[in-house]
Amino acid sequence: MLKKIGFICCVLCFLNCEQQPKKSVETSQQQDSLPKIKTVKTVDETGFESFDASEYLSTQLLIGKSKTFTKEKIHNLHIVGENSYKVNRQGLIVALYNISNNYGEYTYTKSGLLKTTATKQHTPALTYYQETFHYQKNGAVQKSLISRYNQHTKQSTKETNTDTIALKKQVRKFKLVSDVAFKINRKKRIILTYGNDLVFCCGELMPGKNSIHYYYSENQLIDSVVINGLTSDKKMTFTYKYNY
């Protein structure tokens, strides 16, 4: 019975479409085929110049310079509404926390190369994943040893990774991606960049293209970051809080 009703509805829809003037159908098809163009808001870049931000530690947002963290004796940084970071005496990130039950821990060699990375759980205390990197004498990564723990089976597995191309990217954790362009307004102490389809804590999305303005203090520490949607009306602001 349901199949018959569905067939009758399809026939009626077809007949209704056939009764419409041909010109009107063609116009509708032409309109549907037109590309949907989103208006991109312009950003005032007056006073900005190209800027090399390669010394900044970074995840999705700039975190700060290791040299500045060491100079200012920063031990912890909390980007309110995003992540928290623990920093060692070298100015390197040794732990990353967010609102989840999991967190990351990191160790380094004396020369500052990433030695281990681990994904852990607060409660119950577990290490789900740990990777140890091995380097050649010239500092090039050679291989890594990976240990995984399955909480359901209560078993651990180990493997060796010798894919040096992939490993080169992994050992650059918290280092800025080289193809990201930055500009700076030194007079107003603002660093400017752009980002697409950004996803933050709790799944908060900044869709499309966005401008990202970092405001920094006289001691080169970032005070806050303001993200404005250029293809949307969304806006997000994060403040940086430090423990000395």
Residue carrying the six token digits 């933050």: 200
Query: For residue range 122-161, what is the model confidence (pLDDT) as tens digits?
Result: 999 999 999 999 999 999 999 999 999 998 898 999 999 9
Last residue of a domain, one of 133, 148, 173: 173
For 67-94, what is the mean pLDDT?
97
pLDDT per residue over 169-192, tens digit each?
999 999 987 788 999 999 999 999
Q: Which of 127, 145, 173 is the last residue of a domain?
A: 173
Nearest CA-CA partner of 63 in 176, 166, 164: 176
Q: Would 18 be classed as within a structural domain?
A: no
**pLDDT value for 87:** 97
d(CA 147, CA 168): 19
Identify the pLDDT of residue 117.
97
Number of folded domains in the chain? 2
**Same domain for 244 and 189:** yes
Q: What is the pTM of this model?
A: 0.80
Residue range of the domain that includes 134: 93-173
pLDDT digit string, tens, across residues 93-120: 999 999 999 999 999 999 999 999 999 9
In a domain, 22, yes or no: no
Number of CB atoms found within 10 A of residue 207's CB: 13
User: Which pairs from 211-215 meet CB under 8 Å and 24+ separation?
Assistant: 211/43, 212/61, 214/62, 214/190, 215/189, 215/190
> Which helix (H) or strand (E) covers residue 4, if one does?
helix 2-19
Clarify whether residues 61 and 180 are in a common domain.
yes
Under DSSP, is residue 169 helix (H, G, I), strand (E, B) or coil? helix
CATH value at residue 119: 2.40.128
